[in-house]
A and B are shown apart, each in its own frame.
Chain A
Amino acid sequence: MQQQGNRFFFNVDWIAVLIYIALCVIGFTNIYASIPHPDTATAFDFSSSYGKQLIYVISGLVLGLSILLFDGRLFNVFAPFIYGITLILLLAVLFVGRNVGGNQAWIPIGSFRLQPSEFAKFGTALVLARYVSTFNPKFRDFKSIFIAGIIVAVPLLLIMMQPDTGSALVFLAFMFPLYREGLSGYFLLIFLGMIVLFVADFLVPVSILIIILLTISGLFIYANKRKQKLIITTVFVTLIAIGYLFLVKIAYDKILQPHQRNRIELMLGLKTDNKGAGYNVIQSQIAIGSGQATGRGFLQGTQTKYGYVPAQSTDFIFSTIGEEWGFIGCAVVIGLYVFLLLRLVNLAERQRSTFSRVYGYSVACILFFHVFINIGMTIGIIPVIGIPLPFISYGGSSLWSFTILLFIFLKLDSNRMGFI
């Protein structure tokens, strides 16, 4: 603390910052590659998407570093306030939002398009951390689970109403910090079970699923026939599961929109479509697969160059990486993410304050959801859910919100010695 600057940047985890910068550079490079390059345009063009992205990256870095200048305690203090603003923005976007691709997602501010759902993530993360750190609930009682659930559900439902299912799904990531704070692992298992049953519901006739469920629970009850309480729970869970199966069917037909149903069916291989919704995924997989082990090289990807992958600089940016840098490039990117995520969890665990830890877990898990869903989508193991790849996809809103998300935690981490 000899110098002014050092006081602000003291104890900052520079490894995480370096990974952040690396991912931003990778993003810029691939966005540069994924737009057409006429031979005549030699000058650097700031009106092009790569030009804009450079501005976003630089301003993002400035934004991140300036967050480090704040007093970390402010985030604790202002958490409810920030959460409130994001909720207001989420409400506002439903009324004044610009309709993009069927979603009310954007609020135009001048030439810039504000996407409140991006900012709702750290708003929610902050307020959740505040709640846990203030009341120190162990999530063994209904009340604390309910309150935490409400904190997450309100922005989630508002985003669903846009409707932006992809961004809403990301809010499920908050299960993991709650799990870390004491929420029973059964919730994760139930969640996993719901996904498995959801998928199975499409692949296997309901009647067979019910027989399987009844058989399993019957065997389970037989094995535990002395434990009355467990038998009751099992019967209860089985009945709920069967109800869930029917509910999914009904919800699928009544609530999901045709294009969403289409995407799910495509992903599950229930139908093929080379032209419509399946086109993106097929073209993205072709581009990635054609990169083979070492890739075609920078600016050499034909699928990228000639625009075969729609939305390539935003949601499908990973296809450019796959095509031009090959398996090695993909492995490096995924490796960087995994390294960052593991590091963030480790950083979170070394916090003295519960607030910082919960927030740190939230950041790691939100990033994890984004990375898994986005890359999974580009290689066809997850239905097409339009969410960006953190730090890499084109777009100011998402880059800045991820930057804020990450750097708030890095600031909190640098203050870990003090009390917040």
Chain B
Amino acid sequence: MEQLFNRKYIIQGLFIIIAIILLSKLFYIQIISDKAFVAAESNVLKKKFKYPARGAILDRKMRVIVQNEPVYDLMVIPNEVKPFDTLALANALEISIEDVRKNLRKARLKSNYQATPFSKQISVQSYARLQEIMYRFPGFSTQDRTIRHYPDSVGGQLFGYVKEVDSADIARSEGFYKPGDYKGKSGLEFSYEEILRGEKGVINTVYDAKNIPQGSYADGKYDVNAVSGERLISGIDIQVQKLGEELMKNKVGAIVAIEPSSGEILAFVSSPGYDPNLLVGKRQGNNYMDLIGNPYKPSLVRPIQGKYPPGSSFKPIDALLGLQEGVIDVNMTFNCPGYYMAGNHKVKCEHVDGNISMRRGIARSCNTYFCHVFQKLITKNGMKNQRQTYQDWRDKIAKFGFGQKLDIDLPFEKQGYFYNADHYDKIYGKRWGYTTVISQAIGQGEITATPLQIANAMAIIANRGYYIRPHLIRAMGDKIKKEYVEKNYVGVDAKYFEPVIDGMQDCVNTPWGTAVLSRIPNILMCGKTGTVQNPHGKNHSVFIGFAPRDNPKIAIAVIVENAGYGSTYAAPIASYMVEKYLTGQVSGARASQVEWMKNQNLLPLLIDKSKKLKLTKADSLIIRKTDSLKRLNDSLKLKTATAKRAFSAKLAKKNNVIIKPDENKK
């Protein structure tokens, strides 16, 4: 039989084994795992963020054009919510009990442990009511923020909008943005996000188990004060901008005005425009969807995304290059019988100009003259070297800013098309020459440019040979790109500009000029009309110009889609803008013309795509028979013309924020 006293070792052994088990678990939770440490910190430490005010934006005359308004969000940390009086909260917020439950569910989905917006931008009354009864809703807190306000209600596409960050933004920022933060999503708000946003502050507060604050953490050692965003000064003249948007009301197109000497953009009109205040606040989402759904595409930033053939506005550049290359001189004349023959292809001129020189050619916008200039430019090295000469010509024109982004301080700029020689090699093989690409002589054909590029080309002429990259925000310390003060020379000597400018002066200021009706009293504006052939409908009305002739203060490009001749709409609009900028007003009889212009509805007819689709299906047999898609489209346009009018009116009414089509068109 065993010795009973040996059982002491079994009992003592048990004590030791149990002690080891306890110590192992302690070793795990205290030393190996840091989960408990993190959980302990989050138990006691609550971060409250102080949102900085976004930087304001001023216009060139130091008027505030973008500012802030205080708003309050009700935040919730779902994990800390205890059963509460749903009705009382619903009443305070003026929402239904269902909404309270729904919002709480939504917040839970986002995060259980972090403060998540429960009800955004609550009214001042709700905020006041809540402050008194907040203690009854553990887990809830109010967060004050500011939202954007645009006092002039213009420049939707210019300013862009600010929106709460989504998960993609958070991921991309590598944790800089937290849920509930806001961020500029387009326009200047996007471009200057890092300057405008300021620095978020944080207050670390220690809370006890009953969620009662126990003072600051580590005596505020880790607290950070919010730093407001920096103020930006823009080159925009808000009065001119406003006039531009009014003039472009019920029209599709763009206006870009630049101060040639600085490259500062004075006006940046994209039409149809919208009130940027629509994309602020609670209705942001709905309004945004309305804008996206609007058939006239107000979401398109036409000054930098619209692609138009530069048309006649290209002609002065042709003339400049002709002079620089020495293929023409000022007095050389060409005969215009009303057309130009490029091989078998006939390029029509609007007039029969007879023998025509450069100055008059520019003023009259004679297609024939410029086709001759182009012919000389491309064939100057002989017929065999046309391909190389074309490429050479193309590169020289590109120096004027075509076919490349101008790197304006706005996102999503397009560069337009301006093809290299190899593009034509692909289409025509080696057998192509100036006659193939003759339409480029008059800014048509394959070349497209943004209104910004066109206005910039005008600034180059105003500057007699250089440009500064156009930009919206005035240089400020080292935070603005230094490219925005550098001169970019285009390789044409200053002396060749004067004769070209003579022609542009005549265009506006002589009886035979195409834009003589837009002459501004006492201001010598130089310009050039354009009528851009539009394969999709009525021609676009274009005007480019600058003023005054000596020491120019403003260069401008105006494009009104589907408006016909440049002299009818684009030129007068430009002249009002120029006069407004230079004198502060549009005076005399022209003031009433401004009102008339504002009331013109030039919105193109809309093609009802759903109807078109149905008809296409039904008429699929006809398509096979006729074998001509074009003819079918024409017939469809006719068939649905009446329906289209009603539809576009309906659409515009729905999006009443955008455009109200005027039934008394013309």
> Does B25 make an interface contact (CB < 8 A)?
yes
- Asked if A381 meets B25 with Cβ closer than 8 Å, knowing A289-B30, A342-B15, A345-B11, the reply is yes
Closest residue of B by beta carbon distance from A341: B15
Q: Please name all residues of chain A whose beta carbon is closer than 8 Å to the beta carbon of B210 when the two chains form the complex.
A: 307
B335 to chain A, nearest CB (A): 93
Q: Please name all residues of chain B whose beta carbon is closer than 8 Å to the beta carbon of A380 when the two chains form the complex.
A: 25
- Asked if A379 meets B25 with Cβ closer than 8 Å, knowing A289-B33, A334-B19, the reply is yes
> Does A264 make an interface contact (CB < 8 A)?
no
Closest residue of B by beta carbon distance from A287: B40
> Does B398 make an interface contact (CB < 8 A)?
no
Q: Which of B1-9, B344-352, B486-494, B640-648 contacts A (4 or more CB under 8 A)?
A: B1-9
* B interface, over-half SS: helix
- Asked if A180 meets B208 with Cβ closer than 8 Å, knowing A302-B40, A372-B22, the reply is no
Q: Mark B1-36, 1 if CB is under 8 A from A, else 0.
A: 000110110111001101101110111011101111
Residues B421-470 near A (CB distance < 8 A): none
The distance in angstroms between the C-alpha atoms of A327 and B36, with both chains bound, is 13
> Does A286 make an interface contact (CB < 8 A)?
yes
Q: Please name all residues of chain A whose beta carbon is closer than 8 Å to the beta carbon of B5 when the two chains form the complex.
A: 349
Query: How many residues belonging to B are interface residues under a CB distance threshold of 8 Å?
Result: 37
Most buried by A among B4, B10, B21, B22: B22
B119 to chain A, nearest CB (A): 24
The distance in angstroms between the C-alpha atoms of A45 and B283, with both chains bound, is 60
Q: Are B44 and A176 in contact (CB under 8 A)?
A: no
> Does A290 make an interface contact (CB < 8 A)?
yes
Contacting A302 at CB < 8 Å: which of B7, B18, B44? B44
Residues B32-52 near A (CB distance < 8 A): 33-37, 39-41, 43-44
Most buried by A among B15, B37, B207: B15
- Asked if A308 meets B11 with Cβ closer than 8 Å, knowing A289-B29, A372-B22, A376-B22, the reply is no
> Does A179 make an interface contact (CB < 8 A)?
yes
Q: Please name all residues of chain B whose beta carbon is closer than 8 Å to the beta carbon of A180 when the two chains form the complex.
A: 4, 7-8, 11
Interface range on chain A (Cβ under 8 Å from partner): 35 or more
> Does A326 make an interface contact (CB < 8 A)?
yes
> Does A235 make an interface contact (CB < 8 A)?
no
The distance in angstroms between the C-alpha atoms of A293 and B23, with both chains bound, is 12
Q: Please name all residues of chain A whose beta carbon is closer than 8 Å to the beta carbon of B207 when the two chains form the complex.
A: 306
> Does A337 make an interface contact (CB < 8 A)?
yes
Q: Please name all residues of chain B whose beta carbon is closer than 8 Å to the beta carbon of A349 when the two chains form the complex.
A: 5, 8
B664 to chain A, nearest CB (A): 69
Q: Please name all residues of chain B whose beta carbon is closer than 8 Å to the beta carbon of A323 when the two chains form the complex.
A: 40
- Asked if A327 meets B22 with Cβ closer than 8 Å, knowing A180-B11, A306-B208, the reply is no
B81 to chain A, nearest CB (A): 11
Residues A260-299 near B (CB distance < 8 A): 274, 283, 285-293
- Asked if A286 meets B39 with Cβ closer than 8 Å, knowing A180-B8, A322-B30, the reply is yes
Q: Please name all residues of chain A whose beta carbon is closer than 8 Å to the beta carbon of B37 when the two chains form the complex.
A: 289-290, 292
Contacting B208 at CB < 8 Å: which of A185, A290, A307? A307
Q: Are B29 and A338 in contact (CB under 8 A)?
A: no
Contacting B21 at CB < 8 Å: which of A179, A345, A381? A381
Q: Please name all residues of chain B whose beta carbon is closer than 8 Å to the beta carbon of A368 when the two chains form the complex.
A: 15, 18
Q: Please name all residues of chain B whose beta carbon is closer than 8 Å to the beta carbon of A331 when the two chains form the complex.
A: 23, 26
Contacting A379 at CB < 8 Å: which of B10, B22, B39, B79? B22
Q: Please name all residues of chain B whose beta carbon is closer than 8 Å to the beta carbon of A289 when the two chains form the complex.
A: 29-30, 33, 35-37, 39-40
Q: Are A338 and B15 in contact (CB under 8 A)?
A: yes
Q: Please name all residues of chain A whose beta carbon is closer than 8 Å to the beta carbon of B16 when the two chains form the complex.
A: 338, 342
Q: Are B15 and A285 in contact (CB under 8 A)?
A: no
> Does A83 make an interface contact (CB < 8 A)?
no
- Asked if A181 meets B40 with Cβ closer than 8 Å, knowing A345-B11, A379-B22, the reply is no
The distance in angstroms between the C-alpha atoms of A348 and B7, with both chains bound, is 12
Contacting B29 at CB < 8 Å: which of A274, A302, A364, A379? A379
Q: Mark A323-362, 1 if CB is under 8 A from B, else 0.
A: 1001100110011011001100110110000000000010
Closest residue of B by beta carbon distance from A368: B15
> Does A243 make an interface contact (CB < 8 A)?
no
The distance in angstroms between the C-alpha atoms of A176 and B206, with both chains bound, is 48
> Does B613 make an interface contact (CB < 8 A)?
no
B43 to chain A, nearest CB (A): 6
B368 to chain A, nearest CB (A): 85
> Does A90 make an interface contact (CB < 8 A)?
no
> Does A79 make an interface contact (CB < 8 A)?
no
- Asked if A285 meets B36 with Cβ closer than 8 Å, knowing A375-B22, A376-B22, the reply is yes
Q: Please name all residues of chain B whose beta carbon is closer than 8 Å to the beta carbon of A293 when the two chains form the complex.
A: 30-31
Identify 4 new A-B residue pairs, CB closer than 8 A, beyond the known A179-B7, A349-B5, A372-B22.
Answer: A292-B30, A293-B30, A322-B30, A368-B15
16 A-B pairs with C-beta separation under 8 A: A179-B7, A179-B10, A180-B7, A285-B29, A290-B39, A292-B34, A303-B43, A306-B207, A308-B40, A327-B27, A331-B23, A338-B19, A341-B15, A349-B5, A376-B22, A379-B25
Kindly list the 8 A-B residue pairs having the minimum CB-CB distance in the complex, ordered from nearest: A289-B36, A290-B40, A306-B208, A289-B29, A307-B209, A327-B30, A302-B44, A308-B209
Residues of A participating in the B interface, judged by any CB pair closer than 8 Å: 176, 179-182, 185, 274, 283, 285-293, 302-303, 305-308, 322-323, 326-327, 330-331, 334-335, 337-338, 341-342, 345-346, 348-349, 361, 364-365, 368, 372, 375-376, 379-381
